[in-house]
């Protein structure tokens, strides 16, 4: 919740948080593994406004999967399988 507030200037509703998935790439992976990304869905208040480490905001569809990292691609696959990303 703190990261979203700091980097996107929005407030997460903690009661709405649901673990969506944990995605990992291993040691020696071309995308500089090991890396673990733990993903949640949640409702938020406020406009998503990039700040700090975030240079810009962009919305991606599944067709953009080739533009993201390997661990993000795993999340894209899970989102598509759950009918949450078209």
CB 3 within 8 A of CB 12: no
Per residue in 13-70, pLDDT (tens digit) is 999 999 999 999 888 777 777 989 999 999 999 999 999 889 999 999 999 999 999 9
Strand partners, 9: none
The model scores a pTM over 0.95: no
Tokens of 16: 């709405």
DSSP letter string over 55-79?
-------GGGGGGS-HHHHHHHHHH
What is the three-class DSSP state of 20? strand
| CA separation for the pair 62, 60 (Å, rounded) | 7
């Amino acid at each position: 919740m703190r990261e979203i507030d700091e980097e996107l200037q929005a407030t997460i509703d903690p009661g709405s948080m649901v673990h969506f998935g944990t995605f990992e790439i291993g040691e020696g992976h071309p995308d500089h593994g090991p890396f673990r990304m733990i993903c949640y869905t949640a409702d938020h208040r406020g406009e998503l406004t990039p700040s700090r480490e975030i240079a810009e905001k962009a919305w991606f569809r599944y067709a953009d999967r080739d533009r993201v990292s390997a661990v993000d691609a795993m999340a894209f696959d899970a989102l598509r399988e759950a009918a949450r990303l078209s």
